[in-house]
Structure 1
Amino acid sequence: MMATLSTWSPRRWSLAGLAFCVLMLAVALGLEHLVGLEPCPLCIFQRVAVLAAALVLAVAALHNPIGRGGRLAYGGLGLLAVLGGIGVAGRHLWLQSLPADQVPSCGPGLDYMLEVLPLQDVLSMVLSGSGECAEIDVLWWGVSLPGWTLLGFLVLALVPLGLLWCGLKRA
């Protein structure tokens, strides 16, 4: 299996990662629009991280870098986006693990904050969390949605790591 993966081209790695990003976003949108689960601000930021990774991987797939530098650049940028998602999902899980008396109070909605506050303040408020982010709406096999998203990001991290491996192996 490892021998097969090591022969993958950067385009193949990128397309596999892009397909996984599409799957993650399709699940998120399905849960929102078909099941009726409203995303909290941290959920939206996790979607942004998936979109950022998808954008990097789409450009990498179109470019199909032959040289070492391109593979390392796309792998690094993709890994940066995925690590951001891992951080937000981890923060979300941490908020959900807090005892009820330590959960931050609910703040204004993300739309309102984006209209009224500077982006830096919005980021700070969202990452500090709110009561709605600490709610656990659904558990599948005992794992909440941020837990599944974290698992998705960990699987997705294999793609930029594969691109980095291809770039380093090429040296």
Structure 2
Amino acid sequence: MSLASPRSLFFLAFLACVAMMGGALYLEHVVGLEPCPLCIVQRLCVIGFGVFCLLAALHNPGRGGRRAYSVLTFVASGAGAAAAIRQIWLQNTPPDPMASCMPTNFDYMLQALPFQKFVAWVLHGTADCAEVSWTLFGMSLPEWCLLAFIGMLIFSAYQFFRRA
């Protein structure tokens, strides 16, 4: 029994990222859910993972190149998992009164704040990040994203360690 080629697996992972982003855009533009700063970070990580997978599928590298792409996808999915874990933690802790004083608009924060303060505030989370506004089968959107990022991490490790 032959395994699927690394190229086809990278392409399938890219298509999964396209589907995830399609779902996120549907929830934003059709359902009306506004993404918080941590949600945007998770989206950027999904996009990064997808871009690296697409590049790997188009490039069809040898073993060393496949490992390099696997490391890049692992970093992107690890960062997304960290953001999802932070948001899940915020959703399961008592509300912080200072979080409501922080700006919630991602574009405004990017333009108005110095870069270091912007990164610190985005990673700290806002009051919007702690709000659970949508669930599916009892799980919030960050919990679903964490499951997806865990799958991406497993995929990256598999592509790194496979022999074919």
Q: Same fold (TM over 0.5)?
A: yes
Q: Does 1:77 align with 2:88?
A: no
In structure 2, the CA distance between the partners of 1:69 and 1:41, relative to structure 1 (3 Å rule), is same
Q: 1:92-111 to 2 correspondence within 5 Å?
A: 92-100=87-95, 104-108=99-103, 109-111=105-107
Structure 1: unaligned runs, 5 residues or longer: none
In structure 2, the CA distance between the partners of 1:143 and 1:74, relative to structure 1 (3 Å rule), is same
Q: Residue by residue, what CA displacement relative to the aligned partner does 1:120-154 show, whole Å, maximum 9, x if unpaired?
A: 22111011111111001012111111001111111
The alignment of Structure 1 onto Structure 2 pairs a total of residues equal to 163
Structure 1 residue 27 displacement after superposition: 0.6
Structure 2 match to 1:158: 154
CA RMSD of aligned residues (A): 1.6
Q: Which has the higher contact order (CA 8 A, sep 6+)?
A: 1
Structure 2 match to 1:40: 36
For residue 31 of structure 1, the aligned residue among 27, 32, 56 is: 27
**TM-score, normalised by the number of residues in structure 1:** 0.89
Q: 1:34-73 to 2 correspondence within 5 Å?
A: 34-66=30-62, 68-73=63-68
Deviates more, 1:143-152 or 1:101-110: 101-110
* Letter of the structure 2 residue corresponding to residue 40 of structure 1: C
Structure 1 match to 2:83: 88
- State the alpha-carbon separation in 2 of the partners of residues 48 and 83 from structure 1: 12
- State the alpha-carbon separation in 2 of the partners of residues 110 and 57 from structure 1: 27
8 Å contact from structure 1 (residues 40, 132) kept in 2: yes
